[in-house]
A and B are shown apart, each in its own frame.
Chain A
Amino acid sequence: MPDLKIRDGGTLGLTLFAWLSAFTLLGLVAVVLGFLLLKGWPALQPGLLFGDTPPLQALLLRRPVFDGLFPALVGTLALVLLAMAIAIPPGLAAGIYMAEYCRGRTKRLLGLLFDILAGIPSIVIGLFGLSLTIFLHRHLFPGLFPCLLISALSLACLVLPYLIRTTQAALEEIPLRIRLGGAALGASRLQNIFLVLLPQALKGIGSGILLATGRCAEDTAVIMLTGVVASAGIPNSLFGNYEALPFYIFYISSQYADRTELQRGYGAALILLLLCALLFLASRVVRRRLTRKFLYHH
């Protein structure tokens, strides 16, 4: 809009209100980040991760870490990698199907179901994972309890709809001329998808995957019902309990015993925030203008 010369009371009020809102928001953000940095910064040193264990020994998994964040960090990494490994193949396949094959009524119905899945609160998905575990424990695998694998499966359910929708959108926004180009050169439908369309859509799909990874890393509600515990050491089995950063932060906020533990809680919050910021920046770099719609659906 060109700069308008007309000035009236309404415009002045609107402008003032808008700027005031923006500075309130930025001020609140600054207070929150400043508070975390101020309190968490002193905690950010090697001891935060490894406690009294020598870092090299801990990294080589030779000696356990008792009073550091290392096990929680490793637990979160394992959880996120596992969940994404489970979610990416069906998510991409379903996204490709939605964009390239599905039409008409079926497309509307499937789209509705994906929207519903995206809207389900994460605690309900955690409850689903828990009840599935109880069901399997009773009827099929008596040795199964809430564990790393169940958490990863539940988290995969949580992020599937984002993966599907980002993949679908990335494919659907490819210009028609590119789509027809492959076909005109005699490529079959599948050749066109794998050799022309998917490489074109890679940026969009990649940024969707990174956003979904961030979602997996920060979610607490799902994992607190499906096997995360406050103290378990480095996860050594898919069927065992594990630690995770977000749960550690929650746990410390209610159960901290002394100043050192609280310090570690601030450190953990700062690390999780940095991790999510990093994933967000990466997704922006992968795709400069990512489809903003997928930021809304959390």
Chain B
Amino acid sequence: MKIPEAAVERLFFLAALFCASLALFILVFMLVLGRPLLTGDFLPRLLTEPWLPDRGLYGILPMLVGTVSIALLALLLALPMSLGCAVLISVIRPPRFGPLLERVVEFLTGMPTVVIGFVGVFLLVPLLRENLDAGSGRCILAAAIGLAGLIAPTLILFFSDAFARVPAGWRQAAAALGCSRSQIFFRIILPHSLRGLASGVVLALGRAVGDTLIALMLAGNAVAVPHSVLSPARTLTAHIAMLFAADFESLEFKIIFACGLLLYLVSLLLTLLIRGLERRGRCRI
């Protein structure tokens, strides 16, 4: 039987084109549906006003502050432990324990976020409520701890890959010159894996900003601008998820698309940043 080569190739091409166009299609949808809000005089109000629909104020400033503070705090919490684990996996390399730790971390990347949120609600939140002055216990800190658990595996895998990519010859040369392990790490491995570390941080930040369930379950979802890590907050993603407006013409509903557009643009920016980091890294080597 003769296979129609050209036709099949065309089919493959159309499939690729279709999948790629989805990325643009989603952007266009958000732009069109959120368009009424993107005019010159509404945009600044959208980004700076509080969310008080009863008084005609539809700003998303509280959600912006909530998203940024939860994501950054999560990163801050996850970073030291992730670096330590990556050093153990790729630099110290204990023969049995290293690969074991690596397997566990790989498994953790597939941990369902809703399960992390669930454990957070029934283990972490009561703990914070009883030991800190955190109101109901649902607060920025709770969400950030949960999110740190979500992004730590990603960070560890990225960091240990970045460390492992530093050529073994360089380490051996340094060792032959009499460098100690910490000297090798701080003078050879760390400076040459900064770019890999940076792209890991950017990717983890993207996951932290884009995650919905953990913040929705643990942050308390208050719409006031938070003033401390123990006050409740709402993220942009949670704001979309809490959409219960039945009226699709309402301003509340259109604001949802502005939030969606903002999240899209942030993830786009982070994706471009990672690609830039990886490409320039490749040119160097």
Q: Using a CB–CB distance below 8 Å, which chain A residues touch chain B?
A: 1-2, 4, 6-8, 10-11, 13-15, 17-22, 24-26, 28-29, 31-32, 35-36, 39, 89-91, 93-94, 96-98, 100-102, 109-110, 112-128, 131-132, 134, 157, 160-161, 164, 188-191, 211, 214-215, 217-218, 220-221, 224-225, 246-247, 249-250, 253-254, 265, 269, 272-273, 276-277, 279-280, 292, 295-298
Contact = CB atoms under 8 A, between A and B. Distances in A.
4 closest A-B pairs (Cβ-Cβ)?
A21-B84, A121-B210, A10-B182, A93-B15
A109 B21 CA distance: 11
B24 A24 contact: no
B91 A26 contact: no
Given A39-B122, A89-B15, A123-B263, 14 more contacts: A1-B181, A2-B172, A10-B182, A11-B180, A18-B85, A25-B101, A94-B12, A98-B16, A100-B12, A123-B260, A131-B257, A254-B217, A277-B107, A280-B110
A32 B120 CA distance: 9
B115 interface: yes
B106 A295 contact: yes
Contact of B110 (A28, A89, A211, A254): A211
B92 interface: yes
A249 B275 contact: no
Contacts of B107: 277, 280
B209 interface: yes
Given A32-B119, A116-B23, A119-B268, A93 B104 contact: no
Query: B interface, how many residues as a size bin?
Result: 35 or more
B37 interface: no
Contacts of B281: none
A131 B34 CA distance: 11
Contacts of A273: 111-112, 115
Contacts of B17: 110
A219 to B, nearest CB: 8
Contact of B16 (A93, A112, A121, A132): A93
B268 A249 contact: no
A144 to B, nearest CB: 14
B283 interface: no
A10 B80 CA distance: 17
A113 B91 contact: no
30 contacts: A1-B168, A1-B181, A8-B183, A14-B91, A14-B181, A17-B87, A21-B82, A22-B84, A31-B123, A91-B19, A94-B20, A97-B13, A101-B9, A115-B274, A116-B267, A119-B206, A119-B268, A122-B212, A123-B240, A124-B240, A125-B26, A128-B29, A189-B5, A190-B3, A225-B243, A250-B217, A253-B118, A269-B118, A269-B119, A296-B109
B179 interface: yes
